[in-house]
Each structure stands twice: as structure tokens, then as C-alpha cells.
Chain A
Amino acid sequence: MPKLIIDGLEVEVPEGTNVLEAAKKLGIVIPHFCYHSAMGAVGACRLCAMKFVEGPVKGVQVSCMIKAQDGMVVETADPDAMRARRMVIEWLMTNHPHDCPVCDEGGMCLLQDYTIAGGHGIRRYKGKKRTYISQYLGEFIEQEMNRCIQCYRCHRFYRDYAGGDDFGTKRIANRTFFGRFKDGWLESEFAGNLADVCPTGVFTDKTYHFRARAWELETAPSVCPHCSLGCNLIPGAKLRELLVIKARENLKVNGWFICDRGRFGYRFASRPDRPRKFTLNGQEKSRDEATKAAVGIISDAVAKYGPGSVALAGSPRTSLENNFALKKLASLLNTGNICFSIDPLRDRKERRAISLLDAADSRSLQDVAFSDFIIVVGTDPVNEAPMLALMMRQASLKGARTAVIDPRPVKLPFDFTHIPARPEEFAEKLTGLLNEAAGDSKNPLIICGTNIPGIDAIDACSEAAGRLNCGLFYTLSSANSFGAAVLAGEGPDFEDILSGIESGGIRVLIALESDPLGRYSGEERASRALKKLDSLIVMDYLPTETVNAANALFPTAAYAEMDGIFINNEGRAQCFSRAYIPGIPVNYMGPKLKPPELHPPREFSPEVPGRSFPAWEYLGDIAREMGLDCCEMETLSAIRASLSHDPRFAAIAGLYPESEGALITAGPVDRLQAYGPFPAGEKPDAGEGLKPVDRLLLYATDLTFGTEEISVYSDKTQLRAPEPYVMINREDAKELGLNDGDWVKVASGSLGISCALKTSASCAKGAAFAPRLTGFDAAALSGKTIRITRERV
């Protein structure tokens, strides 16, 4: 641990820390562009000069390139160092255009800040400036190459940190260019981070193009709702419109970066068709009227058919508090019909998975980067939990080996071994691999999915992790799947509720931010069943099919519009705060005058038009209106206090925004032992007598873009959603007489879908995969044996 003196203050830093970082530790920030904590130092910008007075090196030096050593005495404000910095920034500015007023980075630009901090104010260079033709890089990232100062951060992030290979550096010296070989979408799922790492306006967020300035954004520390990893975000909104997402640093979870689904999936919040009105059978009502109507519906059902006639469906995508309030309402109503997921199979697997995690084997997302042997069982990181792939790449760069046991042709941004195996073979392959790993790795990790693997594989992973003392990491479906599964405990699942509705026992369903009509894997069954209900009460912020079918509708607040807690896949509870008050965005309200002039209305009112509230407020209203004892759901702090009485949730008592989060462990859930890999009654028929290719088993899969429940309502991420397809092994296809690109019919019993066929040599034999795209009912066929036949058009 070297000790050095910077500006007269002594500081001790770990071996290998550079002087710039050591100064930062003392709170002395010296302007720098190329150095980034995640990507290290390259000394490209020459800006972080300091004067080394005593010690092994002397004179004005670039501090990011010098490791801290004992006996160093460094002056940051020495006139020589200041002069060097002033000259360097003036030189970096010679070719910089004069376009700050029309640059999206303006107001949050490191170059602006450091130019002033470096002491350069008035331009002396009168010569001509260098120019570039910028490239079209897709609808996520905008490039304006003239602004470049050649710090190489983009190259180092894209190629080295994220493992992309379609972007890089061209030419040399003063003509260095960063871009693709030719125009086109950046292929990496992490390309959006270029907007964050670029210290100036070369790469900016195209979805935020010309919409606002940093200083007018309403922001708050938040947590990503788009997958189970719980990456930290800063949403920015202006005039009630969510406009931009930036990554927030959390060194236990996502580090410094986020994926493009998290960054560009935000546009669901300001959709024009988002539900904004309280309605009763299609008629607009006030909040009070809607509450009274809901109370009427519930009390009628309770009076006529007993409390068991009311069912409640929570959701893994809403906050822990909302789900808890729903559970509280269920217990006040004395009904046991409550579930927290509308995917029964996944629900069971997730409840099982979280019950197996304990503090000893659970690993954080950052821990993944420090593993030296990673076994992935039945999950496709880039598609199911994108940031996991980025962390696995960091482990791989440190020398870790990775093996993926998955029937799909998995793609990862680094070298790994792919073992194509069907889910029933997972446990066996895992044992084989572990025998190999147990010998020489110190920090092995097992990553297991909950979509394709069965309960047996989930158990096998946990058992192996316990036996070999290695880490365990389950990927779940949604941001709060862990919390929802803990609350669900040993309670019923949506299958039970659906049978209750079909048998006529359940007459009223309260759907809290869940979409049984659009997302249940047998849509026809759900819509037939839901028609039998007397009433459907829906609380949601997305324009889902269930919202359209609702008898009573309560528009709720989305994640950036309320305070709440998400529990991520490792059991880390994280707070998110309200960034802005939800309501109809001001820019959507104005009378459109003669185009292109339009302006917001000129009438003012103290009320926020179209204001929505967090769902727990509505649930509290309903309980109060019914005369139930609702003191535990009155306020957010009351809900949290009540939650933390449960010993499993005790850790949330000390939780605060911008903390690293608090770990929750679920404890065993015994009833789930009974479930096999397939729901009862849907076990695929053995298909004796048929050739293996005539009874392929279909799995509905997730993709980075186009399948996740919330981001499918974002127009920009939908641009990267592929056309529907079904994928099978190339040899299976040959046996069926089909070729890649054929238009085929995929059928099982009476169900059938038509789509294009994709074939792959690295796909497991006997299995077929179809993405859960909107408008493509792959989920209905999931877990069923199918026949694929060519369809002539």
C-alpha cells in the first residue's frame, strides 16, 4: 500500500492505483478525458498533468499513466502543471466545432467543463478546422464526428470492454476516425453506453435528440425495470415526459454501464395511448367514483359468493410495496386467491430457485466478473439478462473459462464452449463439467436460467453449488421476480386461479400491473376464462389487452414516477425514487395551430392533468372505503414498516436510495418440491412411433429486444425486434426436407403458427425455439411437442 503526498495531504492507496485516482480519493479532481475507472488509462488526452516534486519520477507528468509509489510528493496546482493543462485543452479545442448550442451534450459535456476548468477561454487558433462525414449508426446512437477529441474511450469501451467487433478506429494522428466500416446499426447490445462514455458530443442518445437540456431534467436515483438484474439508472424527465435514461454507478450491481434495453426501453412511459383515465365500463370517472365502484364490485361478490370469489393477481414487474399492499388487501378480504405472476410454470421455478439461494452461495453481478470458471445452465445471457454477458466478458478477460449448456445457439461477446443439450440432459452435463472444474478453479460460478431449465436442473445447480462451494446465480424473469416470489411463498399460482375462474368459484379478478390476456401462455384459455368473470378490475400503466378489457381501470404510476423497491435476482433489495409527477406530458396537450407551430395550452390549473398514482394508494383507498383496517397500507413508510416486520424483509428497514442495496434471503419453500418440470396435465406426449423430428419440443424464448413485457411498448427498442421465426437444428431440418428461410407452419394439436424457419448447426437436436414476440403466439406452444411442415404461400 504505497503512501504519497498530494497537495500536502497524505493518502494511502492500494498497489497499482494511478496518481489521478489517488488524487480523486482525496477529493481533488483534475480534468481528464481518456481515463475511465472501468477502462483504465491510456494517456491519450494528455490533460491530467501534475507536477511531481519528490520521488521516483520528477517534473510535469501525465498522472493517469503513473502508478502511485512511496515517497511521491505531487502538486496539482503548480504553475507548470496548470500551464501544461491549459495548453493541452487549447490544443484539443483547435478542431472542435462552434456548435454547442445545437449539441445534445451541451450542459452535461465534460469538454465544456474541463475547457473552463483548464483555463482556456478565448480561441487563439485562427486556422481552418478538420472535418469528417459522420455515419448513420442506427436509431439509438447519433454520431457527429467533428466534435471528436480522440480520447479513444469509445473504441476501448466498444471493442475491449463490451467485445463488439463492428466498430473501431480508422486512420491515424490528426485524422483518427471512430466508427463502423460502413453506415448501419451498431450491433452490440451495449452500444448505448457510447453516449455515456464519450466525454463530448460525438456519440449522443438519438432518442433524446434535441429534446431537452440536462439542467431542466427532473431526475432521481432509480432501478431498471427491464430484467431481473436490477441495474441502476437515472431517468430524466421534462414537462411530465420521460426523455432519457443514464447509467448510474453501483459497484455491487452494474458497475458503470447498462444495456440498450434498459437505456432505450423507457418510451413506454410517454406513449400517447397510455391509460391516463379512471374508467368504469369505458366511461371516464373520477378517482373517488372509480374507488367506490371497485368497492361495490368487491363487496357484492363477497356478499353473494363469499370472500373466496375474489382473486388478486400481482406482478413481478411492479414494486415490492404494490405487491405487498395487494397481499394485505387479500388477507383483509380473507381470500387466499392471490398470485404474483401470470406465468405459472416460470412462477413455480422462480419460487423454487429463490428458496435455494442463501448468503453463502449467492453472488452479485460484480462478483461474476471475478469468477474463474463459469458454467451457464439453460440461460442465454445476452437475451435474458444482457448485463450479465458484459460481466462474464470481464471475467473472461481476466482468464476465466466459460461453458454454456444450452440447447439454443447462444452468442456471447467472448470465447466460450457451447454444449448443445436439451433441458432433460442439463443435470448430467453439469456433473460432467463440474468434475473438470472442481480441480483447479478457486472461484467457480454456476449461472442457471429459469425459463428453459426444469425444476430438476434448478435443483441440480443448487446442489452442485453447495457441494463444491461455488457461487450460484439464477436469472429470473422481471425486475421484482424475487420479491414477488417471496411474497407468493407457498400460495397458489395463476393456474389455480384460472381453474377457479373456469369452475365459477372466482367472480372478480383484480389484476395489478399484470396482463393475463396478453402475456399468459395460453391466450385463448385466458380470454375464455376472463369472459366468465363478473368483473375485472385492472391497475396498470401500460396499454395492455387486459387494460382494454377492464371493467374498472385505475391508471398507475410507472417505476420512474413513484418510490419503491425492486429485489433483483440475487436477492438485493434496491430503492428507487420518484423522478417526476406522472400526468399527460405538456407537449401532448397543446392545440395544434397552423403547423409546425404548436404550443402547450394557455389555461392553467392547480391539478396535474391525467395524474396517476402508485397502485398501493388505490389498494389502500379500496380497503379504507370497505371499512377494513388499512393502517398498514396508508403510506409508503407504513407499508415498509409492516414489510420489515417479516424477518425475511428485515433488511429493507435500513434501505435508502443510492445505497448498494440490502440482501434478502427467501428461505425454503417446501410445497414446490412436488412440481416436475412441466405443469400437471401438460406433460408432452411421448409420441411413441413417431420419428424424433416429428415430435420436436418447442420452447418460447426471450430476446434482448422485442419480448420483454415493458420494453415492447417502447417504439425505439421495437425497431430491433426481429421478424417471428422458429429455429431448429440444421440436421433436423434436413431430415424434414426444410431449408433455412422456408415459410413453415408450426402446429401442436389445434394450435398453429406460421413463420420463417431458421436453422443452426449449434442448436440441440430434437428441440425448437420461437421468440415470445408480440402478436406471435409462440408462448401458447411452449413446452409442447410440435410438427413443422412447409407452408406454401
Chain B
Amino acid sequence: MSGLLTGLFEAFATTLREMFRKPVTIQYPEEKKPLSARARWRIVLTRDPEGEERCVACYLCSAVCPVSCISMQSADRGDGRRYPEWFRINFGRCILCGMCEEACPTLAIQLTPDYEFCKYKALDMVYEKEDLLIDGTGKDREYNFYKHAGIGVVNPKGKNPDEYGPVDIRSNMP
């Protein structure tokens, strides 16, 4: 019997004590919690330092995506540069796992701290390239894939810093 009574009064005591504590609830959306430095949410496509699209439509992000929410069509831009003709992410399906960012060899696809992109209609969660492409370089300001690739798109062949000049195929001199 005494056990029952203690239980009852302990509960009242807890309630009474908590009534005068500072509440932990924050008034979202008026009030926002600071995110951790590594928070990863909405996906963007970035540009290289020269302002060109970084994405080369290599399909690695769509291949690695565990929920298959990324699709695209690669094409030649006309100057030998590979780019996505269209690029589509279905955020209704995306689980924000970040594997696409890890797979991306050109640092084009990056996850941002923006988590507030709810929509009323499911189709509005399907983002096209126009919606994804941003103007900046994102996390790495220096990297330009084509300057390291070893093919002549940005710099002529043999003119990148880690290359010898092209072989002269008409001579047999060493």
C-alpha cells in the first residue's frame, strides 16, 4: 500500500518540478535549431571554378543510388565535353543517404544543409536539371575534373600540368 502511495506522489513531484524548468521544445519554423556541420539534405549540381557544369553524366550516382531516384541522359555538348542533356532527381524517393555525392568523380553532385523542401504535390518533388544546378562551386572551390582527366577538352592534349607533350608519330627519335 505504501508503495502505491510513494509511486503516486513521486509522479506528482516530477510533474511539479518540470513545470518550472525551461522547456526543450523549440517553436519551429519560427525558431530553428543549429544544424551539425555535416548535415546533408537537398542535393544540388555545382559548377567548376570556370562556371561550367561539373556534371559529366557518367551515371555513377544513378548506379549507386539505393532507391534509384536519379536518372539522366548524357550527351556531347559539341566541343567534346560530356554533359547531362537532362538530369532528374525524384526527391519523393530520395533517402538522403549521400552515396551519390561519394560516388561522384567530378564533385558535381553535392548535398546541402537545406532540409526544408516539402511540397503539396508528389510530382513537385521531381527536380529537373534547371532546379538542381546552382551557380557556385559548393564545397570544393578549386577542382576542375577536365584539368586532370588526361583528355583534351579544357586544355589541349598534353598541356595539362601532369602530362608530357603529345608524341610525334611521324618520328622515331627517342
Contact = CB atoms under 8 A, between A and B. Distances in A.
Interface in A122-137: 128-134
Interface in B45-82: 56-60, 62-63, 73-77, 82
A587 B88 CA distance: 13
A420 interface: no
A598 B167 contact: no
**Interface centre among B148, B157, B169, by most A CB within 10 Å?**
B169
B123 interface: yes
A141 to B, nearest CB: 15
A177 B129 CA distance: 40
Contact of B85 (A100, A132, A598): A598
A178 to B, nearest CB: 10
A502 interface: no
Contacts of B153: 102
B128 A599 contact: yes
Contacts of B58: 100-102, 106, 213
A599 B130 CA distance: 10
Interface residues of A, number: 41
B62 to A, nearest CB: 8
Given A97-B150, A102-B82, A210 B166 contact: no
B158 interface: yes
Interface stretch (A72-80, A448-456, A589-597, A736-744): A589-597
B2 interface: no
Interface string B114-154: 00000000010010111000000000000001001111010
A658 interface: no
B169 A177 contact: yes
A131 B82 contact: no
Contact of B169 (A170, A596, A600): A170
A131 B157 contact: yes
Contacts of B129: 597, 599
B51 to A, nearest CB: 16
A587 B82 CA distance: 17
A210 B57 contact: yes
Nearest to A179: B169
Contacts of A599: 85-86, 88, 128-129
Given A99-B151, A171-B172, A212 B74 contact: yes
Contact of B130 (A130, A211, A597): A597
A171 B167 contact: yes
B149 A171 contact: no
B165 to A, nearest CB: 7
Given A131-B157, A211-B74, A587-B73, A597 B149 contact: no
Interface string A568-597: 000000000000000000010010010011
A179 B57 CA distance: 29
B145 A101 contact: yes
A210 B57 CA distance: 9
B106 interface: yes
Given A97-B151, A590-B86, A133 B166 contact: yes
B60 A101 contact: yes
B92 interface: no
B18 interface: no
B10 interface: no
Contact of B167 (A130, A144, A209, A213): A130
A212 B57 CA distance: 9
Interface in B94-116: 105-106
Interface in A206-225: 209-213, 215-216
Interface string A107-127: 100000000000000000000
B36 to A, nearest CB: 30
Contacts of B63: 213, 215
A789 interface: no
B166 A216 contact: no
B12 interface: no
A25 interface: no
A175 interface: yes
A129 B152 CA distance: 13
A594 to B, nearest CB: 8
Interface in B151-174: 151, 153, 157-158, 162-167, 169-172
A209 B85 CA distance: 13
Interface of A: 96-102, 106-107, 128-134, 144, 146, 170-172, 175, 177, 179, 209-213, 215-216, 239, 587, 590, 593, 596-600, 602
Given A132-B166, A146-B157, A599-B88, 8 more contacts: A99-B150, A102-B149, A129-B150, A131-B150, A146-B151, A213-B58, A587-B85, A599-B86
8 closest A-B pairs (Cβ-Cβ)?
Answer: A97-B150, A101-B58, A599-B86, A131-B158, A99-B149, A213-B59, A177-B169, A102-B82
